[in-house]
Amino acid sequence: MSVCEYQELIGILTIVAHDGNGKLLWQQQFRNLITSGGKRLLASLLIGTSELPTQWDMVVGSGTQPADVADTALQQLVERAPCSRTRMRVDASSLNGAAKVGLHLEATLPTGNSADPPQTLSEAGILVTVGSTQTLFNRVTFDAVNRIPAISITLAWDILF
């Protein structure tokens, strides 16, 4: 009997916006691209040639160029928010009926004050820090959304294996 498993690495970003009272304003979900640097980092971690990450950050920007495996940074960085250590977890998951293991990361962008101008967001990624090296693990572009100071935006990223 032949046993064969095709393994893919999938990233799914969910962006959730709430008003100042906690009311859900909108929610969007996007599949993203894992960069070559992100895949290299993962492979290095698996064989023990890389130290463990010391920081995980969600980054958002206003770039509009489609994501590419060669990306090493967002096109136009707007904000960076650390992933919540208390919300990081590894879960059993599934996608289209196939069993997966999922790494869940989450960060909430800081709210501004009422004098801050709106910001256009149209790209996002996970920036992983190992020692003094930062690697853009993944990147996605999406239709522009306007971020105003009164809105709380949470980014939840699930990386499925």
Q: Is residue 42 part of a domain?
A: yes
What are the pLDDT digits (tens) for 62-86?
999 999 999 999 999 999 999 987 7
Span 49-62, pLDDT tens digits: 999 999 999 999 99
User: Is 62 a member of any domain?
Assistant: yes
* Confidence at residue 3, expressed as pLDDT on a 0 to 100 scale: 60
Structurally, the chain folds into a number of domains equal to 1
* 93 has a pLDDT exceeding 80: no
Residue 151 placed within a domain: yes
Question: Which has more confidence, 100 or 140?
Answer: 140
Residue 130 lies in a domain: yes
Would you say residue 41 has pLDDT above 70? yes
Task: Please check whether residue 3 lies inside any domain of the structure.
Answer: no
* CB proximity list for 3: less than 8 A, separation 6 or greater: none
Q: Is residue 1 part of a domain?
A: no
Intra-chain end-to-end CA distance of the chain, in Å? 24
Residue 76 maps to a domain = yes
- Residue-wise pLDDT tens digits, 3-33: 656 667 888 999 999 988 889 999 999 999 9
Model confidence at 111, pLDDT cuts 50, 70, 90, reads confident
Mean pLDDT of 145-151: 87
Residue 35, domain extent: 10-160
pLDDT averaged over every residue in the chain: 89
